[in-house]
């Protein structure tokens, strides 16, 4: 395909850096994406020329900041196909969104003995909150199994759905395997069972079109920093009728309607779930990041990233002693691998000396590592500013690493 990555690479000044006297090759995009200048300019503009709090002041700066903040909420709603801006809640990230859901849904929807289904490939942020709820509420946490290719066993999932299954919470794209799960089919099956469905879209949102209306998911969460936006910011989408029934997650400023020592009444959606001063600059700058992605086009991004992944996997399979972990039929641009000779941490350190940034470790998916009976993997994850030439250099240095440790 004809994709001119050079048009977009210049938006990322960090790619001009030298690491250990080598050109930076950034293959850690699943952990966090790099930040384009347009996003940073919006954040800087707010801090330099308009740093006021929102929803409180009648002065010009406050009204300007509030308008920019709420315009960003509208942009997020449009970007993910939400019907109403009231269904968009800003959080600190996907992790806080999952904790909010486990807490608020746990208080309002779940009782002892009710079941929550998650998959075997979940990130810790979609495991630990439900475990905490299990301790406090006595719910049952059940695990949807996967096969050795890293694919959810749909037939087993169907069997697990039952009258006690109140919530299914599943990752759309695995951060450690790259697997793209059949999330729409899973949502339909859950709804046939009258179960709620939560989508962890942290790894999906930058690589494919997200349309919550088409998916008909009940909730969906993602982190801004996974889609060329700022850190410390996340988005939780929820159907209005469900959010209305849920109690607040935190108490404090801006989530209230009135407060007395006897009683507090809560604000309307979405503010009921946004206690305290939010990350205003980050929210404002997220709009620019989403518009930047839209300008390139998600379909073009997805196609190009797929060519990068295919190229990298084909090259990696030619190296003796290397095993790819996660070989699902449908994958995002994540390449996790292990070596018979070299520990992933040593691999990562060696490649860093060549200016190549990859991720090593369990990637906050320790149950996945346990399933494959490995301590960790090395993970290269690609996006649209990466190139085949970078991948070729990376493969060459992986071979050099194996020779060095041999």
Which residues does the annotation mark as catalytic?
Answer: 364
- Give the strands of the sheet with 196-200, arranged side by side: 88-91, 234-238, 219-223, 196-200, 165-171, 115-119, 140-144
Q: What CA dihedral angle connects 139, 140, 146 and 151, to 10 degrees?
A: -30
Find out whether 273 and 89 touch, Cβ atoms under 8 Å.
yes
Question: How far is 79 from 282, CA to CA, in rounded Å?
Answer: 17
In angstroms, the Cα distances linking 206 to 74, 77, 293, 363 are 18, 15, 8, 18
Question: How far is 97 from 270, CA to CA, in rounded Å?
Answer: 13
Question: How far is 13 from 171, CA to CA, in rounded Å?
Answer: 32
CA 148 to chain CA centroid, Å, is 23
User: Packing angle between helix 128-137 and helix 94-108, nearest 10 degrees?
Assistant: 20
Question: How far is 140 from 119, CA to CA, in rounded Å?
Answer: 14
List Cβ neighbours of 188 (8 Å cut-off, separation of 6 or more): 216
**Residue 23 main-chain phi, psi, to 5 deg:** -60, 135
SS3 146: strand
């Amino acid at each position: 395909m004809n994709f001119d990555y050079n048009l977009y690479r210049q938006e990322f000044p960090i790619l001009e850096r030298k690491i250990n006297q080598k050109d930076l090759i950034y293959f850690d995009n699943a952990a966090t994406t790099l930040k384009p200048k347009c996003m940073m300019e919006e954040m800087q503009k707010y801090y330099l020329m308009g740093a006021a709090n929102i929803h409180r002041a009648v002065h010009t700066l406050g009204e300007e900041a509030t308008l920019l903040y709420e315009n960003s909420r509208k942009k997020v709603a449009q970007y993910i196909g939400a019907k109403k801006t009231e269904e968009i809640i800003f959080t600190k990230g996907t992790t806080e969104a999952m904790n909010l859901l486990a807490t608020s849904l746990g208080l309002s929807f779940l009782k002892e003995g009710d079941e929550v289904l998650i998959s075997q490939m979940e990130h810790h942020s979609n495991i630990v909150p439900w475990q905490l709820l299990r301790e406090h509420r006595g719910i049952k946490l059940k695990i949807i199994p996967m096969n050795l290719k890293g694919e959810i066993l749909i037939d087993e999932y169907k069997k697990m759905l039952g009258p006690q299954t109140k919530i299914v919470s599943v990752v759309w794209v695995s951060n450690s395997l790259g697997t793209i799960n059949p999330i729409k089919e899973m949502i339909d099956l859950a709804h046939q069972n009258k179960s709620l469905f939560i989508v962890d879209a942290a790894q999906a949102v930058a690589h494919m079109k997200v349309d919550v209306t088409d998916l008909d998911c009940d909730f969906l969460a993602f982190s801004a920093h996974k889609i060329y936006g700022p850190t410390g910011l996340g988005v939780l989408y929820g159907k209005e009728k469900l959010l209305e029934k849920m109690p607040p997650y935190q108490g404090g400023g801006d989530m209230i309607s009135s407060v007395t020592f006897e009683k507090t009444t809560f604000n309307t959606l979405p503010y009921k779930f946004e206690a305290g001063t939010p990350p205003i600059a980050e929210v404002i700058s997220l709009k620019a990041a989403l518009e930047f992605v839209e300008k390139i086009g998600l379909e073009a991004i997805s196609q190009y990233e797929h060519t990068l992944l295919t190229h990298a996997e084909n090259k990696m399979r030619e190296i003796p002693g290397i095993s790819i972990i996660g070989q699902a039929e449908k994958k995002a641009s994540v390449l996790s691998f292990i070596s018979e000779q070299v520990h992933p941490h040593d691999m990562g350190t060696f490649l860093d000396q060549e200016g190549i940034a990859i991720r090593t470790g369990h990637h906050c998916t320790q149950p996945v590592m346990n399933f494959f009976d490995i301590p960790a993997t090395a993970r290269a994850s690609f996006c649209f500013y990466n190139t085949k030439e970078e991948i070729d250099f990376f493969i060459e240095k992986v071979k050099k690493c194996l020779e060095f440790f041999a």
